[in-house]
Amino acid sequence: MTTPPLAGDRAPMAHAGSTLATIVLLAAWLGAAIYFSTAVAQAAFRVLPTRALAGALVGRTLPVIFVAGIVVGVLTAALTMREPAAAWGRAVRIAAELGIALFCAIGQGVIGTRIERLRASIGTTLDALPPGDPARVTFGRLHGLSVLTLALAMLLAIVALVAASRVLAPSTVARS
């Protein structure tokens, strides 16, 4: 006759499904963001005949990454909040996951919106403007901030992934 495990023995694995779902969601989003940053954006500027077309392509695809980051950040934070308060790195994971959502929301809702308004107000391509033109300088700053928000969200995704994977690691479960 086997003795059933104590409730405390089952607790670390009770939320393994939600932790695994969190890992899959974060990894999928991070993979998409890395692919976009290293392949799609770079290829667009190398292959398309004009920088204006490349910018238009990137400008149409980047919102998908940002919106997905918002959804994944909020969803994974909600999954993590369902775990016991004593779960390893729970607070770090929740902060990182909400940070992903926040940086993506800023990148899309604030910076992306300003970039689109600026592009519409210019009336020509950015390349047609002289290097010191205020609109071109502003675009450069906004572009840099957009890159920064995506990079910070990606960094937080790595933090959340490492923390979530530690929850499933046998040594961490054994210590809980």
Least confident of 12-16, 60-64, 74-78, 118-122: 12-16
Written in H, E and C, the secondary structure of 28-72 is HHHHHHHHHHHHHHHHHHHHCCCHHHHHHHHHHHHHHHHHHHHHH
pLDDT single digits (tens) 71-120:
999 999 999 998 877 766 889 999 999 999 999 999 999 999 999 999 99
pTM value is 0.85
Give counts: helices (H), strands (E), the chain: 8, 0
